Structure 1
């Protein structure tokens, strides 16, 4: 077991020294978007999903669990001006030869492509065939590939002139700023009250939730309650499970993004230790909920023993205290998902455009479920603020 851990840590630590990918054609290829967009005021940069039609069966379509990237699906970022220049000397018949029409694929894209109609439809009508022929020309010219692929515009980026840029604040941004101000006032105010009059507000839920010094001391102090003596070890297990689950989800997120060397990521994910860890993720999440439920039950039974004649006000107080602690911070991050790109004045990179605005568009459609705390009830494939 120790040798397995050593191999895994060595594999991870050598990431910076790994060679570039040898997959041909490359799964990810991006033209310089900054140079493209700065070339002129009307420059357009598009990110494409390229599907290559193959006669062989894709191993990732089997019923077995396979780890790897599809070799017949590429993600390329293309500067439209460069494509226009590359194909300037091509005749119409040559362009038509390089164009490959749409065909039925037996899998779906990891991310939906219909979230940016204003970033797709106008450009697809104007540049769709041009980019399709341009990509196939590059596949033949740069990689000696005889096979052609169909290119689908995922989204396009352009720098709008200042007069067309929306510099105003919408109501979501105003609400986000209001939450930020509320959290700031609550934190500063609770910290000041706790510092100068902490004894008299010892049981105040707002001060307990937002006072920095009080929470820092609670984090570091060694609990001496009877409950902790009986269940401290299992609460510690819950913390370790939480750290383990978050770490694995961060690893999964890094695989979703464009990678310099997809082969290296495949090598890590196929490591036996990594396979063992990832296979236990669903069980670890369930264990976390079971432990949390057990600890809540212990608290509940302890309160019943202290006050056997409690009423419904007991539950009301517990729920209100929990909402005061969680809702402001939860809504802060939820609103950040809704207005994230509006808070950035600089143009986003292609990957930034996807990672920031994709979740924003999903939340525009499904965010109301998060506000009402029912987002876990429907079986939606597209979840807003899933990390919440």
Structure 2
């Protein structure tokens, strides 16, 4: 009865929000965009290149000049005033310079490629719309620039590294499969493809069987994030029908969907906090005596797991990625690994040059490593001073709510990411919310702390033998967390359409509560699943397929940026935004990303983990050596839970 009543209440809230959204939605019966200039007007690049081996092609931004006497200008001005619309007073033209002679009366005085393209753009705008404009050349490609400069040192070094890895994998696999001499050598055990594939399919036992569902939770979250990332570049791509996106942006439901896209990554932080706390508490139970060297060993083990794959992908980004593009649109997806690779290797890329990132999606690796260090330090304090555990928990909860609100208020930020087309057309990473809230350690620490608190509660309940299934107070809190989550996300439909000029305390508080609602709900959900591993959802999450997929998900996350942007950097013509293209590009991204992630796992991640484990494990500090074999095995299997799937 209670469950039915709770569902009825949540359904009522949902219907109310639906009614409010429909009431707030603008009248979309008219289509004013049909009378406006084309936002993207591109000559066919492939035809231009085919017609003239010495082709020249430029992308030009035409800024329309104000003309209040023009009815078309007044329509453009009204339409562009809505921040959810693209600016129709700035047109983007793709100019095949060879065709400019047909519309230019006389060549410009300084007859360079860019000047000719600018003149051509100005003339075309006037002929089509009777409006004056000023032009700015964004990018030019030609037969000369199509030939990249000679291969440099970074490309040579990466090629050599790739060749060495390939030779190792092939030779060790042959030795292993053919049972040749040297089969038991360390390199063979590390790089043999057959051995590593068998490890991938092996379902090793764990001491915490009731937490196996966390692997499946990571996989599901990873797939949702990958699907979102696969379509994000389409927003910035030259489209033949950009009005389709604008219609989505002004829809009442879009802020709710955008909140889901923005905060899904918080699930990773929550899981990371849970695993950290549970592993630490298991270690503290086995080793009552405090030992600082344990923190050092955890840091080393984590770096061994994440650095080799990460370094190779960043190395590729800084070398060959820069050369793998085609056409005039590739410049939109510029990467800065050539200059800023070191920020990734030091895990500070979410703070240093965040608006010029190297592999943009890897900001999460920096934030997660920083949270790992902070969380590990907190757990070391709890180990050393167990009596202040409750005070630490209260401090973490206060931090989770107060810090994001303060940042939003001080920097006068939006409560969450708002879809403002004028910014999306450039770079979303230029938004103040992205730089100060989305990627920073302090603003994401709250949900990581919620995960840690859940881990502490879980461990205490397990050790005391208590269950939560029959706890009425837990059911009530779980329902309140779900209600709070639905209400906070639904209220995003009532947020202002654009950034407020002055900071408002209510906006800051709402932004903090919205972000925390994700941590609170999923903390309760994970705690519930940990005591109900036999339920249908938990069974799905811990299916053997999920457990195998979880092993490659880190590599999938790290390489996804490279795959996604390489695909879009090689599309040479504007696209139609429709279901077919969305499905096609998403399918291609998924297939290549998953395949590349699998290869990275068996050819880089597992081999280097095996090597470093054999070479460094004897040298790593062991806090207490008199531990039973059974306890050591439990600790070893628990370490695999820390292999986080990262956004």
TM-score of the two chains, using structure 1 as the length reference: 0.67
Match of 2:159 in 1: 177
Corresponding residue to 1:82 among 90, 93, 99: 99
SS of the equivalent of 2:269 reads helix
Corresponding residue to 1:146 among 115, 118, 130: 130
Corresponding residue to 1:51 among 63, 84, 94: 63
Asked if 1:349 corresponds to 2:366, the answer is no
Match of 2:303 in 1: 323
1:194 and 1:211 in contact (8 A); partners too: yes
TM-score of the two chains, using structure 2 as the length reference: 0.43
The structural deviation recorded for 1:354 is 4.2
Task: State which drifts further: 289-298 or 53-62.
Answer: 53-62
**2-side partners of 1:221 and 1:323: how far apart?**
24
Asked if 1:168 corresponds to 2:146, the answer is no
Note the residue ranges of structure 2 that are not aligned, 5 or more in a row: 1-10, 12-32, 69-73, 363-647
1:28 and 1:76 in contact (8 A); partners too: yes
Asked if 1:299 corresponds to 2:279, the answer is yes
Note the residue ranges of structure 1 that are not aligned, 5 or more in a row: 2-20, 97-123
Match of 1:225 in 2: 206
2:85 and 2:246 in contact (8 A); partners too: yes
Asked if 1:130 corresponds to 2:111, the answer is no
1:205 and 1:321 in contact (8 A); partners too: no
Asked if 1:27 corresponds to 2:39, the answer is yes
Match of 1:18 in 2: none
**2-side partners of 1:293 and 1:161: how far apart?**
49
The structural deviation recorded for 1:173 is 0.3
**2-side partners of 1:272 and 1:188: how far apart?**
55
SS of the equivalent of 2:360 reads coil
Change (3 A) 1:336 1:48: farther
Q: Which has the higher helix share?
A: 2
Q: Deviations over 1:268-324 (max 9, x none)?
A: 455555542221233222231121122123223323434556855544444444434
**1-side partners of 2:148 and 2:229: how far apart?**
35
SS of the equivalent of 1:247 reads helix
Q: Deviations over 1:17-63 (max 9, x none)?
A: xxxx947421112223233345445432111122223466677677x
2:172 and 2:188 in contact (8 A); partners too: yes
**2-side partners of 1:372 and 1:158: how far apart?**
38
Match of 1:370 in 2: 344
**2-side partners of 1:324 and 1:206: how far apart?**
19
Report the RMSD for the aligned CA atoms in angstroms.
3.9
SS of the equivalent of 1:276 reads helix
Change (3 A) 1:343 1:150: closer
Task: State which drifts further: 42-51 or 319-328.
Answer: 319-328
2:319 and 2:338 in contact (8 A); partners too: no
The structural deviation recorded for 1:147 is 1.7
Change (3 A) 1:367 1:59: farther
Aligned length: 320
Match of 1:280 in 2: 260
1:29 and 1:76 in contact (8 A); partners too: yes
Q: Deviations over 1:182-214 (max 9, x none)?
A: 4434544665687669xx98xx89957x65555
1:45 and 1:77 in contact (8 A); partners too: yes
**1-side partners of 2:176 and 2:283: how far apart?**
26
Change (3 A) 1:50 1:340: farther
Larger relative contact order (Cα-Cα within 8 Å, sequence gap ≥ 6): 2
